[in-house]
Chain A
């Protein structure tokens, strides 16, 4: 394991017009860690995520992944070359495609070395897709979605879609996954299942996580370290125990 943290973000800033959505936030995620990111609505969590993952470009600041500077890379390049994936709050699955295809698509750009090779029609390409399919079926079975694997993903419940999304992100064998409110809008029974999946991926597959989540019970039980954002700045950082008693954090959530 290298000395540098897996993800290291320094002084990230992004403004929309006069609004400073993110105002110089630094944050790191260590190898093998599950790190939480919380903050009131409008505190800049989502903008921070977007800038870190290449969906939008930060005005200033640096993003390093395992020592390699990836600032300015596009969303797809960070996913493909950095094996750092992210989820979205609203867009979750390719609704018109069946569950299995969803997972195969997620794995494709990692099984094929470049765009040209994806047009391949020979036996080599077919073997690669076949092994992706086998891997997809294992993940589908593990997520308890075997019965619905040929259903259009859009026909399934919100919770099931979140499970599909999570399984999709495991297809590329990622190093780091950034989850944007994984528990939003799913029923309490499924919350337990999603948490188990995250823990399993972390322990058995060695995936590190950075999790935005509003459900404070989930965050405190999953994460060893929590970062709190407020009005675009880092307000606090510490263990769950420290954060829940932190006076500044309480004020940010309750008043002000």
Chain B
């Protein structure tokens, strides 16, 4: 009998337990370069979660994620450099500001039909990059903002600063775990069910009283907030931000993570971000070869695996377990 997976059901307890154990012991298993790759994967996981809420759950294809990623990175950099605010403040402010900026951008954009909407979201990235390049008094243009301090936690006598790769790994892990919990709660809530209804059939959902437009703008803002969080983490990790933080390539990467991993699932996106960012980073593939691989993956997803590669893994997993 074929049954339907309900929202968030893919995140089963054994999966979470295995993941947590593996994650905690990773610094002992990996070299520092591989650990770096994992950190990048965790950083990209956040905007990918946001995009998944949009494209995977609500059915809105957006290329704007890199714009909010960039906004988050710049907000963090400016706060940390000019006001020496602690990490947690930067992180939350980045998410908040990216989410708020998404409102005036989303209101006109979400009125557009599919193609024009995609184009408009692409425009956000391009215009964001132009602002970062040209608002020199604030962003220092192409030189970018440098020496963003390492994350610090001023907790009185327990104050500490995260300065090692291992430390940063655990920090990103905690943030990723909190983000996973947040996404899980959102998609399991009644709102998550309404989002899926909008994805499946907007008019039918509206005829049952679901205010599709309000949900779309809210999800667009939440998605942007996740993008901003990712950008903040990225800025603190690299300690520099440049206008290239706003790049189309990032939006494409995030799209490949979500669609390749498994849109509308949480485990799929985790899998996707490790496969498409972590693994390729760890294997030190030449950037152009990696981009060719991304392109081929996109084509494979569109024509062969419309539900992403995660179901394949699921099948392999069950086959190992002896199920048919």
Contacts and interface: CB of A to CB of B under 8 A. Distances in A.
B3 A151 contact: yes
A91 interface: yes
A95 B210 CA distance: 17
B208 A109 contact: yes
A101 interface: yes
Interface in B124-148: none
Interface string A66-102: 0000000011110110000111100111111110010
A53 B4 contact: no
Interface in A119-136: 119-121, 125, 128-129
A128 B218 CA distance: 22
A128 B191 CA distance: 13
B3 A105 contact: no
26 contacts: A55-B207, A74-B206, A75-B203, A76-B205, A76-B211, A76-B212, A85-B207, A85-B208, A88-B204, A91-B203, A91-B204, A94-B200, A96-B200, A97-B4, A97-B200, A108-B210, A109-B194, A109-B210, A115-B211, A115-B214, A118-B189, A118-B194, A120-B189, A121-B188, A150-B1, A152-B2
A239 interface: no
Given A79-B207, A94-B201, 6 more contacts: A76-B207, A77-B211, A80-B209, A101-B4, A128-B190, A171-B208
- Complex A-B, nearest 5 residue pairs according to Cβ-Cβ distance, in ascending order: A109-B209, A80-B209, A79-B209, A118-B191, A76-B206
B189 A125 contact: yes
Nearest to A120: B189
Given A91-B204, A97-B4, A150-B3, A121 B189 contact: yes
A15 interface: no
Contacts of A95: 200
B101 to A, nearest CB: 21
B296 to A, nearest CB: 27
Contacts of A92: 204
Given A77-B211, A96-B4, A108 B204 contact: no
Given A96-B4, A150-B4, A80 B204 contact: no
B190 A129 contact: yes
Q: Which of B6, B203, B210 has the most CB of A within 10 A?
A: B210
Contact of B189 (A53, A101, A119): A119
A118 B2 contact: no
A76 B210 contact: yes
A116 to B, nearest CB: 9
Given A120-B189, A121-B188, A108 B194 contact: yes
Given A79-B207, A85-B208, A119 B200 contact: no
Q: Which of B188, B201, B204 has the most CB of A within 10 A?
A: B204
B166 to A, nearest CB: 33
A97 B196 contact: yes
Q: Report the contact-size class of chain B (Cβ under 8 Å from the partner).
A: 20 to 34
A106 interface: yes
A80 B201 contact: no
A105 B194 contact: yes
Contacts of B185: 121
A196 B265 CA distance: 40
Given A85-B207, A151-B1, A108 B200 contact: no
Interface string B195-237: 0110011011111111110110010000000000000000000
A115 B119 CA distance: 28
A115 B195 CA distance: 11
B208 A172 contact: yes
A118 B189 CA distance: 7
Q: Which of B190, B197, B210 has the most CB of A within 10 A?
A: B190
Contacts of A152: 2-4
Given A75-B206, A86-B207, A151-B1, A120 B201 contact: no
A80 B3 CA distance: 30
Nearest to B193: A105
B186 interface: yes
A155 interface: yes
A35 to B, nearest CB: 20
Contacts of A227: none
B204 A155 contact: no
Q: Which of A92, A105, A151 has the most CB of B within 10 A?
A: A105
Contacts of B211: 74, 76-77, 80, 109, 115
B212 to A, nearest CB: 7
Nearest to A115: B214
Given A125-B189, A151-B1, A155-B2, A53 B218 contact: no
A97 B6 CA distance: 8
Given A55-B203, A115-B215, A105 B210 contact: yes
A108 B4 contact: no
A104 to B, nearest CB: 7
